[in-house]
Amino acid sequence: MDNDIKRSIILDNYQDNSNRIIPDNVSEYIKINSNNDSCIDNIDIYVKINGNLIEDIKYYGEACVIAISSTNILRNLLVGKTFDEAKNILRNYFNMIEEKEYDNHLLKEACVYSDISKQPSRKTCATLFARGISKILSQNDK
Amino acid sequence: MNREDFTILNNGKLIYFDNGATTLKPDCVRDTINDYYNIYTSNIHRGDYSSSLKVSELYDNCREEVRDYINAKYCCEIIFTSGATESLNDIVFGFFRHNLKKGDEVLITESEHASNVLPWFILQKEMGIVVKYISLNENYEVTIDNLQKAITNKTKVVSLAHVTNVIGDVRDIKNIAKICHEKDIFVVVDAAQSAAHEKIDVVDMDIDFLAFSAHKMYGPTGVGVLYGKFNLLKKMIPCRYGGGMNAIFNNDGYVELKDLPDRLEAGTPNIEGVLGLCECIKYIKKIGLEKINKYEHDLRKYLIDRLSELDFITVYNKNNNGIIVSFNINGVFSQDTAIYLDKYNICVRAGNHCAKMVKNVFNVANTVRVSLSFYNTKEEVDLLINVLKNSKNIWEEIL
């Protein structure tokens, strides 16, 4: 992917605050905090589950451009998906970050982080949301 | 000034503005540590051979060097620790755990470093002491008025940084201690951020306990100082037991401890660290703390003036008197700014700087922090300003 396009996707998602909020009906959401020991990224993730479906995700907190943009991109990918579909997307995402094989059709815009491994310190930024949501999915799998 | 004393500054284009995290090390400190390893490696106070006797003497002289630096009355009031964090933990758990009772109040502020917060929180949980906060004024400073308002008849300790690590304000410890001692309140001072920059006189300031680290004053990591007034220190219960601190022990469990300072320094100490600490103190004395202080404050004023020219920057502590400057590029997360500056070999700290309650004060959780030292220059400040001026391109640079 061209660097200008990548940058544009990252910035669009960084600046999209529509889901960077604490939900009004917060009691209907499961909350988990995700932070990075090595830096200062820190977000709360709110997930609304309906049966085996991810109905909505919101997030709130402070983090760098990579952490926030990847949170927004993955949030948009996962809303409306079943647990199995979401886990599959996340598995592919982690594979991409770790330079293993992955399905780029599944990851769509999230492919902008395909070469993040060249900046090892930013891998934790790019997986801030993915690690948090994975915990929720494994804790609430029925 | 004195940049020639630092090999690391002469090896490239490093612009090091993270002196609040740790300072660079001059060649004389490095050489002192090398000499210990290359010429006279041995343990202290245990050998009857010449290198051990030599290193024992050097080690013991370090205590005198530190005593003189903070103007303590006695050498045995100086305890070597692994750093300010360990010193503060030992003060809280070795002394106050045994000298406070349920309901007693400890006053700190919301701009303290974690090391001067968390040990008190543990005592609060363990024994029911109450941690309270002195309100900060509009410039995030402790005022005598606010201190007096916070003191109650249950206040037993006031524990404050001499200089805070986010705001950089210099507290008036002498007057604070005067007020506290009129009410029999202990005064604990975290001098981690001040020891290399501000004069500390524990007698004149009437400090009960003091803590600082070598690595923030041009010395090695892993070594620091706990100072306590003799009468208080002798009541301190050791947090660690082992070799070097006991006089006698028998199989029936009888233990007799050595006198101060040995009883509070169990195990083989960080010998090369202490020798390095001694050397960095000699180094600071040689340049002159007053000269350092003046230079750094002049440079700080220059930095504030230059930052104030940039309308897209928010500086959070313009009106303070320390040498730490916290700011953000408006709309840019501090870590992204730090990564951008790193592209130009400019080292700054981004984050909450281990003072996680400071967000209640600044109304912003994370900032970019420039913390100055005497080896920083106006030319380096100018470079920082130029790079910030070009930060419109920040996303092109870091993405």
**pLDDT of res. B158:** 98
Query: What phi and psi values does residue B387 have, to the nearest 5 degrees?
Result: -65, -40
Phi-psi region of B242 (alpha: psi -120 to 50; beta: other; left: phi over 0): left
pLDDT in tens, A51-64: 999 999 999 998 99
Are A39 and B365 in contact (CB < 8 Å)?
A: no
Are B395 and A7 in contact (CB < 8 Å)?
A: yes
Note the Cα B145 to chain centre separation in Å.
26
**Six token digits for residue A76:** 């948009």
C-alpha distances (whole Å) from B192 to each of A55, B21, B74 are 50, 10, 21
Name all domains of chain B by residue range, CATH numbers in brackets.
3-17+288-398 (3.90.1150.10), 28-286 (3.40.640.10)
Kindly state the helix (H) or strand (E) to which residue B333 belongs, with its residue range: none
Distance CA B278, CA B92 (A): 26
The neighbour count for residue A38, using CB atoms within 10 Å, is 10
B224-228 vs B209-213, strand pairing mode: antiparallel
What length is written for chain A? Answer: 142
Q: Chain B: give the shortest CA distance to residue A11, in Å.
A: 8
Q: Chain A: give the shortest CA distance to residue B398, in Å.
A: 9
Asked if the peptide bond before residue B261 counts as cis, ω within 30 degrees of 0, the response is yes
**pLDDT of res. B362:** 65
The neighbour count for residue B37, using CB atoms within 10 Å, is 9
**pLDDT of res. A100:** 93
Domain boundaries, chain A: 3-139
ipTM score over 0.95, yes or no: no
The minimal CB distance from A40 to the residues B351, B398, B399 is found for B351
**pLDDT of res. B165:** 84
Beta bridge partners of residue B190, listed in sequence order: B161, B211
The neighbour count for residue B248, using CB atoms within 10 Å, is 9
Residue B172's nearest CA partner among B183, B161, B182 is B161
**pLDDT of res. B11:** 76
A·B CB contacts under 8 A = 34
**pLDDT of res. B356:** 61
Q: Chain B: give the shortest CA distance to residue A62, in Å.
A: 8
Q: What is the mean pLDDT of chain A?
A: 92
Q: Which residues of A touch B341 (CB under 8 A)?
A: none
The minimal CB distance from B335 to the residues A7, A11, A40 is found for A40
Residue with the larger pLDDT of the pair B280 and A141: B280
Is the domain A3-139 a CATH 3.90.1010.10 member?
yes
A42-50 vs A53-62, strand pairing mode: antiparallel
Residue A39's nearest CA partner among B366, B113, B351 is B351
Beta bridge partners of residue B162, listed in sequence order: none
Name the residues of B annotated as catalytic.
354
Residue B342's nearest CA partner among B379, B311, B376, B384 is B384
Q: What is the pLDDT along chain B (399 residues), one digit of tens a residue?
A: 999 999 999 877 899 999 999 999 999 999 999 999 999 898 888 778 888 888 999 999 999 999 999 999 999 999 999 999 999 999 999 999 999 999 999 999 998 999 999 999 999 999 999 999 999 998 889 999 999 999 999 999 999 999 998 888 999 999 999 999 999 999 999 999 999 999 999 999 999 999 999 999 999 999 999 999 999 999 999 999 999 899 999 999 999 999 999 999 999 999 999 999 999 999 999 999 999 999 999 999 999 999 999 999 999 888 888 899 999 999 899 999 999 999 999 999 987 755 666 666 666 778 899 999 999 999 999 999 999 999 988 998 888
Residue pair B16/B377 in contact (Cβ under 8 Å)? The answer is no
Distance CA B46, CA B50 (A): 11
What length is written for chain B? Answer: 399
Distance CA B398, CA B338 (A): 10
Q: How confident is the model at residue A98 (pLDDT cuts 50, 70, 90)?
A: very high
